[in-house]
Structure 1
Amino acid sequence: MSQRTGSYGRTLLVFCRTAQQASTTDEPPSRGSETSADTERVQRLKQRADEQRAIALQERSFATLLKEQMAAVEDR
């Protein structure tokens, strides 16, 4: 059972790292990996996040926002 759990853990770790790298890269997805609806949805989500960041920066200072984000990461 331990060997099976270790294998699962390694697989999960690889999956998480791959997802993390994919989320930080600006390269377009490989051809055929996403539908146009998926691409449009991702673009809308990115635009909404950018707008929310801009609004938040108008309401609070960058230092305050950074402190809040760091606290959220530490809580995880």
Structure 2
Amino acid sequence: MIDEFKEKNDTLSDLVSKYQSFAEENEELKKKYSNERERLIEKIRELYSEISKVSKGYEERNSELELEVKSERDHNIEKKD
């Protein structure tokens, strides 16, 4: 009977040990996930900022081109007169 309890105790000890290692691994994975998530969020912020800059540059250049076209049209109209 003592051997049976000893065997059950060993089995339970092994299970507890496995559980603890899984819990530790789970905590490590949570930290990795959190770090990766933060890194990706920061990358998204950087990309949004870059998109905003490019968009603003595009709008400014588009406005410049519209003014150039208008100026060229006005110049051509003046030539015809």
TM-score (norm 2): 0.33
| Larger RCO, structures 1/2 (Cα 8 Å, 6+ apart) | 1
TM-score by length of 1: 0.35
Question: Hey, which of these two has a bigger chunk of helix by percent?
Answer: 2
Flag the structure with larger Rg.
Answer: 2
